[in-house]
Amino acid sequence: MEEKISGKVVDIRYTSFDGEYTVATVRLGDKSEVVVTGPIAAVDIGDNIEITGEYVTHRIYGEQFKVNSFIPLKPDDEQGIYEFLASGVIEGIGEKFARRIMQVFGDKTLDIIEKAPERLLEIEGIGSKKLDKIITSYNEKMMLKNIIIQLAKYDLSTSLSIKIYNAYNENTLKILSNNPYRLCDDIKGIGFKKADEIAKKMGVALDSTERKIQAIIYSLTQSTYEGHTYTTFFKLKSDMKELIDFDDEDEILSISYDLYAKKQIIIDGIEKDDMKIFLYRYALAETTVASKLIELATYQDKKIDEKKLDELIQEQIKYSNIDFSQEQIKSVKMAVNNNILIITGGPGTGKTTTLSFIIEIFERIGKKVKLCAPTGKASKRMAQATNKDASTIHRLLEMNYSSDDMQEHFLKNEDEPIKADVIIVDETSMVDILLMQSLLLAIKNGTHLILVGDKDQLPSVGAGNVLKDIINCEIIPCIKLNKIFRQAMKSHIIVNAHRINEGKMPLTNDKDNDFFIMNRNDKNSIEKLIVELITQRLPKYYDITPKDIQIITPMKKREIGTQNLNKLLQEALNPKDPVKNEYKTQFKIYRENDRVIHIKNNYEKQWISDKEEGSGVFNGDTGTIESVNLREKFLTVNFDDGKKATYDFDELDELEHSFALTVHKSQGSEYPCVILPIHSVAPMLMTRKILYTAITRAKKLLIIISSNSNIKKMVDNIYEEERNSTLMQKLKMFKDYKMLD
């Protein structure tokens, strides 16, 4: 039950590095003391504060007051003022000077510092330089506290208030009163809807032009989150109606052209019916990717002698003692003879073997080869499969992060390209248009680029349809590996993946199978079977431990979604134990030995490993909670790629449990065993592509828990939401330009 308390801060036990989370002791009016925890940033010993929140009982530390919001109050007596000054929070004042100042000014001290600070020169030991320090430090401290008080009226959390203050400093209130919609551009974590709430509370006119501008930007941004690089004019108009109840076509068009003139958006087309509207960076990205691909593809490079190449290939075949298919040999020749090549194909068609073959030939020629993939797990798999070093694309590009504009930047670019003769990218279906742009800009002409991926898997999380568009344009050389190798044919996982991709039902339950369908229709029996399989049956009958088993499901919510399954599996696989520390939030328990996944790119997150240290933990990185430090309020995660990072408790919105993952989150990874429960799936997720992607995550054993009717629905459903993209058209356009040169 929410209530208010007020009192004086007498001790600060812990403050997070960013100042947004504090554990403090507050003495109440009746002289009793309570431990308060939460977002009470900028408080100091001696401060009087009014807090809104609720009493909770911690299993180790007992009763605490959990803070939702607070308002700092000025010290109201001489002792409080003395404690405030003596705490050292004001630069230039410690216990000695606090005592001297109080002896002269008493309970008028803070009024003197605020209104007549020059009078502090009356105090022995305070000169003009020390006075300047005191005034600057006091004003900064009071300014932040005042802004927190002022912004509390608009229901802004303390952490957001601090972010706003750090951006605008003493101009904070002036900027917000003039144009609160600036928050959308300047403050990470504040979007149009939050800024609009603040604007309404501040009395900003609902028909203001700035509101309409930000609604347009918000609509276009949301479109990119759905995978589109552009939206149509009429979709924009519909969004504007829904967002701010405004649908005047002429004014929307007029504002859009103003944004076009400022290079914030790009408008392609004249008539409203066929008008495409892009955020500027996405239009630029598509144009750059198309231009650079054609430029690389048409670069005139010295070709290796065909006879010499045949000799090298035959030598490598003899050395490796592998019976390569004609498709694979053709792939090697195409890779060497073309500056760009796409290699696509399903599981079991020899993509990895082909890559290793290509790498060996290039190295025999004397070329320097670099390998990369979109995620840490995918790059690790690539390195293990080829026995060569591989990195993430971000790392290859030497990613840097600027806190000034809160954007990632790459040190490798047009001016400082990647030093390699051959660059091979695996899992290219996961690469979005912005990352492809950054990669291509860092590749110098003459470099061989090989893009490898399965076009039938799910597209990238970010905007664009990169691999599919490049293949479908039929301009860039592409080879599809179709032959399933004899060894792969022994795997029902691989055979059934291809059957499903062809619209056929999987074959199941043959003796010594690695592919099973277990028919269950209701939630309780599915949950019971999952726990039984993972804790008893699979470890008993197969050489598989629970850590080798990954639960994958099409959805996050609903009964058999990751949210519910993670709670169930945490209790089954890592139950409460007196020897394991755990931290409980409103919705989750983070316990030592829990499996977790990082869910948003954090370019500033520091990490260490056995070999090095650096920064950057990315969406999709998985690991295990090594320790939970309840006293210092942080936990440590050991990631699967060897990195180790710490998370303050107020950063835990970046971590989710990963006992169960969605199909999208599992993409780019492989697991010894996958259990795939399908029940009450949202129609948009009942698709062949999602089923195919999930199945191809399993290496040794796959168990689908579902009714045959649900599986058939997914096999038959070839629906794929079309993504708005102009990459294919631009590739054709740049090819035509090149032919005219």
As a whole number, mean pLDDT of residues 514-532 equals: 93
Is pLDDT above 70 for 718? yes
Which candidate, 566, 612, 615, places its Cα nearest to that of 590? 566
pLDDT value, residue 82: 82
Q: How far is the C-alpha of 197 from the C-alpha of 203, rounded, in Å?
A: 10
As a whole number, mean pLDDT of residues 345-367 equals: 92
Q: What is the pLDDT of residues 611-664, one digit of tens each?
A: 788 888 888 899 999 999 988 889 999 998 888 999 988 788 899 999 999 999
Q: How far is the C-alpha of 593 from the C-alpha of 285, rounded, in Å?
A: 42
pLDDT value, residue 606: 87
Q: How confident is the model at residue 401 (pLDDT cuts 50, 70, 90)?
A: low
Kindly report the pTM of this predicted structure: 0.79
pLDDT value, residue 720: 82
Buried b (16+ CB within 10 A) or exposed e, 94-120: eeebbebbbeebeeebbebbeeeeebb
Q: Judging by beta carbons within 10 Å of its beta carbon (0-12, 13-18, 19+), is residue 185 exposed, middle or buried?
A: exposed
What tokens were used for 548? 């080798």
Name the strands in the sheet holding 515-518, side by side, starting at the edge strand that comes first in the sequence: 515-518, 698-705, 671-677, 549-553, 660-662
Q: Are 431 and 460 in contact (CB under 8 A)?
A: yes
What tokens were used for 166? 């750090």
Is pLDDT above 60 for 357? yes
Q: Who has greater pLDDT, 451 or 510? A: 451
Domains, the chain, ranges and CATH?
Answer: 3-150 (2.40.50), 179-274 (1.10.10), 287-483 (3.40.50.300), 577-658 (2.30.30)
pLDDT value, residue 41: 63
Q: How confident is the model at residue 150 (pLDDT cuts 50, 70, 90)?
A: confident
Q: How confident is the model at residue 321 (pLDDT cuts 50, 70, 90)?
A: confident
Residue with tokens 């290699």: 343
**Lowest mean pLDDT: which of 106-120, 434-448, 568-582?**
106-120
Is pLDDT above 80 for 431? yes
As a whole number, mean pLDDT of residues 162-182 equals: 83
Confirm or deny that 350 is annotated as ligand binding.
yes
Q: Is 323 left (phi over 0), alpha (psi -120 to 50) or beta?
A: beta
Confirm or deny that 352 is annotated as ligand binding.
yes
Q: How confident is the model at residue 509 (pLDDT cuts 50, 70, 90)?
A: low
Q: Is 189 left (phi over 0), alpha (psi -120 to 50) or beta?
A: left
Is pLDDT above 80 for 487? no
What is the DSSP code (8-state) at residue 165?
A: H
Q: How confident is the model at residue 339 (pLDDT cuts 50, 70, 90)?
A: very high
Which candidate, 542, 491, 539, 535, places its Cα nearest to that of 513? 491
pLDDT value, residue 558: 83
Q: How far is the C-alpha of 381 from the C-alpha of 426, rounded, in Å?
A: 10
As a whole number, mean pLDDT of residues 109-115 equals: 85
- Percent of the chain residues topping a pLDDT of 90: 51
Q: Who has greater pLDDT, 9 or 360? A: 360
Q: How far is the C-alpha of 242 from the C-alpha of 247, rounded, in Å?
A: 9
- Average pLDDT of every residue of the chain: 88
What is the DSSP code (8-state) at residue 537?
A: I
Q: What is the pLDDT of residues 226-272, one digit of tens each?
A: 999 999 999 999 999 999 999 999 999 999 999 999 999 999 998 99
Q: Are 8 and 27 in contact (CB under 8 A)?
A: yes
Which candidate, 293, 283, 228, places its Cα nearest to that of 441? 293
Contacts of 425 (CB under 8 A, 6+ apart): 372, 373, 393, 431, 439, 449, 450, 451, 452
Q: What is the pLDDT of residues 46-59, one digit of tens each?
A: 778 888 888 888 76
Is pLDDT above 80 for 407? no
Q: Are 421 and 364 in contact (CB under 8 A)?
A: no
As a whole number, mean pLDDT of residues 575-588 equals: 89
- Percent of the chain residues topping a pLDDT of 70: 95
pLDDT value, residue 238: 95
Contacts of 313 (CB under 8 A, 6+ apart): 329, 332, 333, 361
Helix (H) or strand (E) holding 677: strand 671-677
pLDDT value, residue 109: 86
**Dihedrals phi, psi of 235, to nearest 5 degrees:** -70, -40
Q: How confident is the model at residue 141 (pLDDT cuts 50, 70, 90)?
A: confident
Q: How confident is the model at residue 15 (pLDDT cuts 50, 70, 90)?
A: confident
Q: Is 345 left (phi over 0), alpha (psi -120 to 50) or beta?
A: left
pLDDT value, residue 506: 93
pLDDT value, residue 405: 55
Q: How far is the C-alpha of 691 from the C-alpha of 500, rounded, in Å?
A: 8
**Lowest mean pLDDT: which of 316-320, 591-595, 601-605?**
601-605
DSSP labels, 616-637: EE-TT-EEEEEEEETTTTEEEE
pLDDT value, residue 601: 79
Is pLDDT above 70 for 473? yes
Q: How confident is the model at residue 511 (pLDDT cuts 50, 70, 90)?
A: low
Confirm or deny that 351 is annotated as ligand binding.
yes
Is pLDDT above 70 for 465? yes
Is pLDDT above 60 for 530? yes
What tokens were used for 192? 């149009």
Q: Are 616 and 396 in contact (CB under 8 A)?
A: no
Q: Across the chain, which distance is largest between two alpha carbons, in Å?
A: 97
DSSP labels, 342-402: EEEE-TTS-HHHHHHHHHHHHHHHT--EEEEESSHHHHHHHHHHHTS-EEEHHHHTTEEEE
pLDDT value, residue 3: 86
What is the DSSP code (8-state) at residue 484?
A: P
